[in-house]
Chain A
Amino acid sequence: MNWHITSSIYGGAQYAPATMAEYTAIAESLVQSAADMRASATAWTDTAIALQRHRASMSICDSADSSASSGVYSHATFPFSDVAQRCSMHAQDCTRLGNELTQMADLLIRAHSLYSQAEAENRRLMTELVQGFTQLFPKHMFIGAGALAAGGALYGSFKEGKLNATHALTSTAWAQEGLMSGLGAMVGAVPIRKGLSHTDEVNTAAKRVAGVTAPAYDLVQGNTLHVTQVVSNSDVIQEPHSVAEAMEGLRRLGEERLGKIDLNSGLEYGTIAISQYRKADGSTSWLVTIPGTDGKADSPFGWPQNVELMSGDKTRRMKADSARMVAEAMERAGIGADEPVAMIGHSQGGIVAATLASDWSDTYNIEHIVTAGSPVANHPVSEDTWVTSVEIDDELVAALDGAENPAIDTWLTIRGTSTYIPDSIATTVNDDGSCTPGMGAGALNPFVGATVKDQPDGKEITHWLKYHQAAYRNATDLGSPALQQHEEHFQNILDGELVETTYWQGRMQRSLATAPAQSNVTMQTIGR
């Protein structure tokens, strides 16, 4: 239990400039005080050493280290040992205070996103630089990236004590968006001048690639979509009323349909869930839960569908099997055009949610989407739809869009960084207000990061949803007003009583009788 996720928040509603300036000044004053304390600690340590030196140099004087007069009037006395000991104690106190202030200043900075704009600008600059160099010197850049990845993998493996290539993702995390963007510009034939001022090179490339791969995969998989309502033998999605609860439902559904956990539901791959809520005023709202890629041969959530969903072309995106499947299921579940809808998706599921919010906005009232580990920066989501994105720095998948998410009031991104902290479990404040004590560094500084649940001994790919859950937990603990606003917006959609949750399974088939991109919606319900 040593992997922690430390979250930073970008976008969402910003403070007024005066408030931001005031909070920044307070944070900087704490940082300065921390530096002052360390300077004091150094001064006390130097004094303690000097006193020891002075005492040694006075060995000739027999009355030197005594607080009592020796009776010889011509000597001076000084309690060297006692004072030196106290100086060391002051040094320790000042160091402790300095460390404490540093931690608290960091908490303040992260909670209020005080430097997020500057950080985002720096990242954008770095991404564009890497993209530009990739376009100009592709061979050199990819050799360099390969060397960086190999070096990271070797160094991480050495520290871990066993060979683990996953560390390559961490060492290249800072360059992944730029490399993807550069690769996208090359594949999409985007001129370098245009590429440096745009962020959608990957989507341009995906449009081009999907023009070939989608028809080819249709020949392999078939293009007739069968959507079937299936009955779950257990409550995989329970009754989410918050983002964290919806994420837990998403994790349960995602892992259950792949057999990673056994909830005895009978649900299989290619399954999504639609929960209906009845509000106090009698109106209806909905939550659509969409897991990620399962890669099965006849699933609408295969790997090639990701390319279609990433396309810069709306028509191409809307033809993606997974998006069509979710749209069909929403229609059959009876979601009305004006009824508020919240969607949550992991990986491909998040791209589907962004696609629905972008391209089905005339059909559904999608008020809020939550994406976890989804490359959706360039999806044209209207500002009428709130977006809460959770991404981990070194998960790679979220960087496949080659761009930062927009940082606007209605689009908030939580970026998590995974850190190995030996023998540490972060203290957790539970939903009911109770506290589960941590241990080690995580107990001393509980919100420096959230502990990842059910983690293996070594480093693993951080694309798994449990890492995004930890990132959201840490961000929530920070108490960011911007995040609180997003959370409230999401909760307002789901503030009614759960009426029912229905589960929908998609399968792809070849059918000569059905025109391409046409859905064959079956009405069969699989009973318990």
Chain B
Amino acid sequence: MPFSYMQCQCHAIVAQSRASVDSSAALAKSSFDRLLENISRTSNIDWTGNAATLFRERMTMSREQIVLCDADVDVTVRMAA
């Protein structure tokens, strides 16, 4: 057998690829966690008016988007595993 299990370079490359995905995922998920925390702090702001309404809508949308993104990242990590 010309290529044994230990000899094929694909194992190392795939491991690198998985590590890269895992690293990006970890960075994103920690950023998401901090962002969710920061968004929850914005509810303390005493602010009314058109911009305040938009701000709160966008913060709510961002929170929802983060949850979706976080789930998407999990899917990617599972695909790469």
Contact = CB atoms under 8 A, between A and B. Distances in A.
B8 A47 contact: no
A107 B76 CA distance: 34
Interface residues of A, number: 59
A259 interface: no
Contacts of A97: 35, 62, 65-66, 69
Interface in A91-109: 93-94, 96-97, 100-101, 103-104, 107-108
Nearest to A110: B51
B29 to A, nearest CB: 9
B66 to A, nearest CB: 7
A87 B21 contact: yes
Given A61-B10, A93-B65, A108-B45, A447 B50 contact: yes
Interface string B44-61: 111111111011001101
A284 B45 CA distance: 38
Contact of A83 (B7, B44, B58, B80): B80
A80 B17 contact: yes
Contact of A26 (B20, B23, B44): B44
A111 interface: yes
Nearest to B42: A26
A477 B51 CA distance: 6
A54 B76 contact: no
Contacts of B49: 111, 476-479, 484
A101 B18 CA distance: 30
A89 B25 CA distance: 13
A90 B68 CA distance: 11
B14 A26 contact: no
Given A36-B34, A74-B3, A54 B24 contact: no
A39 B5 CA distance: 37
A69 to B, nearest CB: 13
Interface string B1-22: 1011101111101111110110
Q: Is chain B's interface secondary structure helix, strand, loop, or mixed overall? A: helix
A50 interface: yes
Contacts of A29: 38, 41
A358 B55 CA distance: 40
A183 B66 CA distance: 56
Contacts of B3: 74
B75 A86 contact: yes
B8 A75 contact: yes
Contacts of A64: 10, 13
A108 B62 contact: no
Contact of A78 (B14, B38, B55): B14
Contacts of B5: 73-74
A472 interface: no
Interface in A38-72: 39-40, 43-44, 46-47, 50-51, 54, 57-58, 60-61, 63-64
Given A61-B10, A479-B48, A86 B28 contact: no
A178 B18 CA distance: 59
A352 to B, nearest CB: 32
A334 B49 CA distance: 38
A109 to B, nearest CB: 11
B54 A446 contact: yes
A63 B31 contact: no
A447 B52 CA distance: 10
Given A43-B27, A97-B69, A100-B58, A107 B8 contact: no
Interface in A15-51: 22-23, 26, 29-30, 32-33, 36-37, 39-40, 43-44, 46-47, 50-51
Contacts of A478: 49, 51
A479 B47 contact: yes
Contacts of A446: 50, 54
19 contacts: A22-B44, A36-B31, A44-B28, A46-B20, A46-B24, A57-B9, A60-B9, A61-B8, A61-B9, A90-B69, A97-B69, A100-B61, A100-B62, A104-B55, A108-B55, A111-B52, A429-B50, A477-B49, A478-B51
Which 6 pairs across A and B sit closest by C-beta, in order of nearness? Answer: A479-B49, A36-B31, A74-B5, A61-B10, A76-B14, A29-B38
Interface of B: 1, 3-5, 7-11, 13-18, 20-21, 23-24, 27-28, 31, 34-35, 38, 41-42, 44-52, 54-55, 58-59, 61-62, 65-66, 69, 72-73, 75-76, 79-80
Given A90-B24, A447-B54, 9 more contacts: A32-B38, A36-B34, A43-B27, A43-B28, A46-B24, A83-B79, A107-B51, A107-B54, A111-B51
